[in-house]
Structures are given as structure tokens and as C-alpha cells.
């Protein structure tokens, strides 16, 4: 049996090595074709950069369908600030796990597993300062400000911005790509506009009440198209939050067990509640649930 296992492992290793060689060979062939098809002179290289820049500019602009929406000024500001905050996140992310890893300070909140980084604070300060400058009469609820004050302000009828400067902080600090900046606006206690930028995946999600939702400038309808799926056909997402007591863990894991026992296509725990909701809107996942115990989501 040992000899058979050894031979089996050798076969697997050899197959894997062949796969790498084939993949590398295909990549080299494609690269050679690209070099042959395109004169990579300085001028063309500049043109390529301009094309890329133009494509990003188009993805991250206000879609033409939203230019006449009642919250266009707020939307334009939220997009600009989300991109700036995303750039702050990207600087750290690119170095995680490398010899050039940047050090960021970490501040704990409710517990050691509920924490914020200096980028959270930096991003929230950036967003709040610009909102106050542009809309001085608007109210603001920020995750880190609320944590520092020890309470979440009550939502009123006044225009109120709700900010999560880094959603999925654990992912971000660990160098995992599913993390984002979230900026929303409520009027008369109802969400009317939201902007989410995920810098590591280069995705900008925009939603305006009665005007639809967009990903990188293109209208998304996946959530609507998936709305008639059965549980057996669905990808179900959840987040465990910060509850770690025996009773809380039992309730949360039992909920997952019940869903799996009833049958579902797959269960996911992605680590970013905001992106969970974006992925439901896009149709990448079908269901998100929360609130089994005290892991229920906060306004941001």
C-alpha cells in the first residue's frame, strides 16, 4: 500500500509539473504573439496606458442614466472619496506578506477580534472632512467615530451619510482581497444612494433609489434574475461576526448545519458584509442572512 501511495503521489506531482510547464508554455506563446502583433514602442506603450486610464475613467464615472438623478452632487462626491480611500487601502495591501510589508497600527474596539487599523481612521477622517465641507448641514454616522463615542447615533429625517471606511477589516489587515469602502446616504430615514469601492478587485458598485444599481458603469440585474431560485440551487452567505460565547457559536453553527441539511448549492463566509450585499445584487450569491445572535449588522 505504501508503494502504491508513493507511486500515486509521484504521478500527481508529475502531472502537476506538466500542468505548470504547459501553462507556462501557453503564456509564453501568447506573450510572443502579443509582441509580434503590437509594436511595444514607447509611443504605443503610452497609448496603452492612455487606453487603460480611459477605461478606468469610464468604469468609475457616473453612468449617464444617473446624471439627472436627484442626488447627483452627493453621488459624484461619494465616488471620488471612495476611490481616494481605496487608494489608501491598496498601498498597504500590495505589501502584505512581502519583505516590504508596511506596518499599520491596530486599535481594538469591543474585543481583540473587533479592531480597526490606522487606514480605517485615515479613510473615515478623509470622507467626513470632505462631506462636512460640501454639505455642512448633513449628519454623518461613521463606524470608527461611533466606536470611539461608544454609541451609534439615532437616524433622523435629516440627510445622513453612513460610512464604513474599511469593510472587511480582518481581510484587509491579513492581505485578503475581499474588502471595500462603503459610503451611503439616507434621507427621511431611508437609504437613497450608496457607493462601494473594492480596490483589490477594482470594482465600483453604485445604487440610487428608483434608478437602479451599477457595477463599473454597467447596470446589474443578477439579483432579480436569480430571485426564483430554490434553496437547492442557491449559494448562501453568512458572517459569524464577533460573538464567541459557547451559546452564540452553537446557534450560528447550527444555522449553517440546518441550511446544509435542507440542501443548498454552497455556503460561503466572505468576511465583508457590504460586499455580500453587492454580490447578491449582482447575482454572484443568492442569499445573505445575519442576526442569529448578536452578529446582526450595524447601519454601515
**CA–CA dist 237, 120 (Å, integer):** 25
For the segment 262-274, what is each residue's pLDDT rounded down to a tens digit? 999 999 999 999 9
**CA–CA dist 19, 25 (Å, integer):** 10
CA 102 from centre of chain: 21
Mean pLDDT of 59-78: 96
* The pLDDT value given to residue 17: 36
CA 81 from centre of chain: 15
* The pLDDT value given to residue 293: 83
Which of 90, 91, 88, 152 shows the shortest CA–CA distance to 123? 88
Angle between helices 118-134 and 72-93 (to 10 degrees): 160
- Entry pTM: 0.77
At 37, the pLDDT band (50, 70, 90 cuts) reads very low
Q: Which of 50-64, 150-164, 193-207 has the lowest mean pLDDT?
A: 50-64
Q: Which of 3-12, 37-46, 254-263 has the lowest mean pLDDT?
A: 3-12
Helices (H), the chain: 2-37, 42-59, 72-93, 118-134, 143-149, 169-174, 222-225, 246-262, 273-282
Amino acid at each position: 500500500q505504501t508503494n502504491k501511495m508513493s507511486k500515486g503521489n509521484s504521478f500527481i506531482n508529475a502531472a502537476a509539473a506538466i500542468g505548470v510547464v504547459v501553462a507556462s508554455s501557453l503564456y509564453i506563446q501568447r506573450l510572443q504573439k502579443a509582441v509580434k502583433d503590437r509594436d511595444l514602442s514607447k509611443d504605443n506603450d503610452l497609448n496603452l496606458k492612455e487606453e487603460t486610464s480611459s477605461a478606468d475613467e469610464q468604469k468609475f464615472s457616473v453612468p449617464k442614466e444617473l446624471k439627472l438623478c436627484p442626488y447627483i452632487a452627493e453621488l459624484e462626491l461619494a465616488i471620488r472619496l471612495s476611490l481616494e480611500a481605496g487608494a489608501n487601502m491598496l498601498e498597504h495591501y500590495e505589501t502584505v506578506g512581502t519583505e516590504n510589508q508596511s506596518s499599520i497600527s491596530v486599535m481594538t474596539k469591543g474585543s481583540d477580534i473587533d479592531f480597526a487599523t490606522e487606514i480605517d481612521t485615515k479613510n473615515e477622517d478623509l470622507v467626513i472632512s470632505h462631506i462636512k465641507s460640501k454639505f455642512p448641514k448633513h449628519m454623518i454616522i461613521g463606524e470608527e467615530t461611533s466606536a470611539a463615542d461608544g454609541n451609534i447615533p439615532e437616524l433622523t429625517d435629516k440627510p445622513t451619510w453612513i460610512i464604513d471606511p474599511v469593510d472587511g477589516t480582518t481581510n484587509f489587515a491579513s492581505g485578503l482581497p475581499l474588502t471595500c469602502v462603503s459610503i451611503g446616504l439616507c434621507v427621511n430615514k431611508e437609504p437613497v444612494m450608496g457607493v462601494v469601492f473594492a480596490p483589490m478587485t477594482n470594482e465600483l458598485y453604485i445604487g440610487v433609489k428608483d434608478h437602479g444599481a451599477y457595477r463599473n458603469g454597467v447596470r446589474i440585474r443578477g439579483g432579480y434574475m436569480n430571485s426564483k431560485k430554490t434553496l437547492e440551487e442557491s449559494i448562501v452567505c453568512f458572517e459569524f461576526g464577533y460573538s464567541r460565547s459557547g451559546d452564540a457559536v452553537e446557534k450560528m453553527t447550527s444555522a449553517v448545519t440546518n441550511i446544509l441539511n435542507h440542501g443548498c448549492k454552497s455556503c460561503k463566509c466572505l468576511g465583508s458584509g457590504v460586499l455580500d450585499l453587492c454580490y447578491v445584487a449582482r447575482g454572484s450569491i443568492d442569499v445573505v442572512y445575519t442576526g442569529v445572535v448578536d452578529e446582526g449588522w450595524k447601519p454601515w
